[in-house]
Every structure is written in C-alpha cells, then in structure tokens.
Amino acid sequence: MEQLLQHLVNGLVLGGTYALLGIGLTLIFGLMSVVNFAHGEFYTLGAYAAFAVLALAGWPFFAALAAAIAAGAVLGALCERTLLRPLRGESIDTVMLVMIGLWIAMQNTELLVWGGVARSIPHPFPTEPLTLGPLNIAPLRLFVVGAAAALIAAAWLLIQRTRLGTAMRATFQDRDTAALMGVPIGRIHTITFAFGSALAAAAGALLGPVFLAYPSMGDLASLKAFSVVILGGLGNLAGATLGGLLLGVAEELGAGYVSSGYRDAVGFVAIILVLLFRPAGLFARAERIG
C-alpha cells in the first residue's frame, strides 16, 4: 500500500512533466497543423540556456528560467519566419520533412557547441526530500509540477481569454476570413510557433536540473510529447494535460508491478489501447476527426 502510494505520487509528478512537454506540441499542431519534430530540440535548447545562465553566468534560478523561455521564443519565431512561412499552404508532409531537418540540424549544433558530456544544472532547492508518512518527494520536483500547472493554465488563458488568443483561433479556423477581418495572419503564425517553442524551452529549463543536460536529451522528450499528444487527441490542450498524467502513471505502475525492463512498452500498450477504442485520442471532440 505504501509502495502503491509512492508509485502514484511518482507517476503524477512524472506525468506533470510529460504534460508540460505535450502542450507546446499540441498547441502548434492544433493551431498551425505543423507536426513539430524539432519540439524536443527546443526542450534541449531550454536546458542548455538555463545551464549557460546559471552555471556560467551565475544568475539566479528564475532569471535562468526566463532566459530559457526567451531563447525558445526568439529561436521559435526565427524558425517560423525562415522555414515555415515560405511553406505556408504546402502539404503537411513537406512541412514535416523540413521539421525533421531542423531537428537533426539543431541536435548536431548542440553537440558541436556543448560536446557530448552530460552537464548537471545547479538549482537552489534543498536536496533532502519532503517526507509525509511513507511518501517522499523532492522539493525541486514539487516546484516543477507547480510551474508546469501554472504554465498550462497560462497557455489556456492566453488562448481562450485574450484578444491575441481569439485572433489565433480565428486564423486557424479560417485564414481568409480572419485576414478580411484585419487579423495580421503572418504575425499570428510567428507568435503561435514562438509560444509553443517557448513552452518546450520552459520544460527543458525546469527538467534540466531534475535530470541532466545532454545533446540527445530531446529525443526522449519528443517521444514522450508525441505519445502524450496522441493519447490526449491532437490539438487538444486539456487532452494533452490529462494524457501526460495518464502516461506518467501508466509507466510508473507498469515499471512497479509488471517489469521495469518493459517500462516504455507499458506506456505504448496504453496508447495502442486508447487508439483502438478512441482513434482520435481520449479527449478529442468529434469535429477534430478527419
């Protein structure tokens, strides 16, 4: 029983981080129909930006977080302007190929700049865990989950409750009508991609100190982000959040009670089951199909 509780806590904490990875990806897909294979690289970028600011420049932790978000947003905007804008109206496959190219280019640049050796990112939280009865949780992880929840809420508010969010949704519902109503289409695309990339970079800066920073760290992050997004339904923010939590708990319980060697397999079996019964994802609304 004690073990089950600890497994559930572990799973929810891990799932919160998966959700954070998933929302940026699902946002870009849902609003722009771009399958962003470079998502994991913006995550890596965030981790290294945090490392540079914290360990090399010696700034405080929250400045590093802000710097990582800024780096993600700026590079995201740049990528949209140079790579995606000329491709607007092209088929989704063409765009996908370009994003795969960006993924490879970014990962190799990271390898060139930082080398292959993993870096440990310092953080100001105590390493001693908080203990509640039989449960243990590290303060840093608690902070990461809190920050993830705040970022997810902020993303939701931005899209649902602001003028900018309305413009974003209008653009991606019907580009021509939105343009006729005076929405600056080009700028909206740039902002959306920058925002999704900034969320990935934020995830990297938050999770970098929990784990380690190394050039190929984005691959695992991408894999998890895609799993979460497929699980929750492409383009669905609430779906990505719940999908993340579900995947985290499924993996944790699978590793705890089935076999730790097949941890990832358990997560994917869960995804296959969901897709068998709800092909558009757990939380997709009917209109997203097709």
Partner 1 sequence: MLKRAVASCLVFLLAVTAVPTAGDAQAPIKIGVIQPLSGPVAASGNYVRMGAEIARDWINARGGVSGRKIELVIEDNKSDPKEAASAAEKLIVRDKVPAIMGAWGSSMTLAAMPKLEEYGVPMVVETSSAASVTRRGNPWVFRISPPSEMEALGLAQYVDKLGVKKADFLAVNTDWGRGAIQAFGDMLKKRGVQVGAAEYMEQAATDMNAQITKIKGTGGDTLFLTTAVEQITLVLKQGQEQRLQRKIITTGGSSSPTQLIKQAGAAAEGSYHIVFFMPWFPEAMPDGKLAKAFVDEWNKRGHPFEGLTEGFRGHDGIATIVEAVKLSGKDEPKAIRDALWKVSFTGVNGPIKFEKDGPAGKESGQSKPSIFVVQVRDGKVALPDFLKK
The residue to which tokens 């960006």 are assigned: 102
Supply 186's token pair.
């080009």
Give the Å distances, CA to CA, from 141 to 46, 180, 246: 17, 47, 18
Whichever of 87 and 269 has its CB closer to partner 1, that residue is 269
Least Å distance between CB 17 and partner 1? 8
Least Å distance between CB 214 and partner 1? 7
The residue to which tokens 């994991």 are assigned: 40
- Note the residues at the interface with partner 1 (CB under 8 A): 3, 6-7, 10-11, 13-14, 111, 115-118, 120, 127-129, 131, 136-138, 141, 211-212, 214-217, 219-220, 251-256, 259-261, 263-264
Least Å distance between CB 58 and partner 1? 17
Whichever of 156 and 211 has its CB closer to partner 1, that residue is 211
185 vs 172: CA distance, rounded Å: 9
Whichever of 116 and 182 has its CB closer to partner 1, that residue is 116
Least Å distance between CB 149 and partner 1? 19
Give a three-class secondary structure readout of 7-43. HHHHHHHHHHHHHHHHHHHHHHHHHHCCCCCCHHHHH
Least Å distance between CB 251 and partner 1? 7
Check if the beta carbon of residue 11 is closer than 8 Å to that of residue 253: yes
Name the 3-class secondary structure at 91: coil
Supply 87's token pair.
């491709």
Whichever of 189 and 224 has its CB closer to partner 1, that residue is 224
Whichever of 14 and 159 has its CB closer to partner 1, that residue is 14
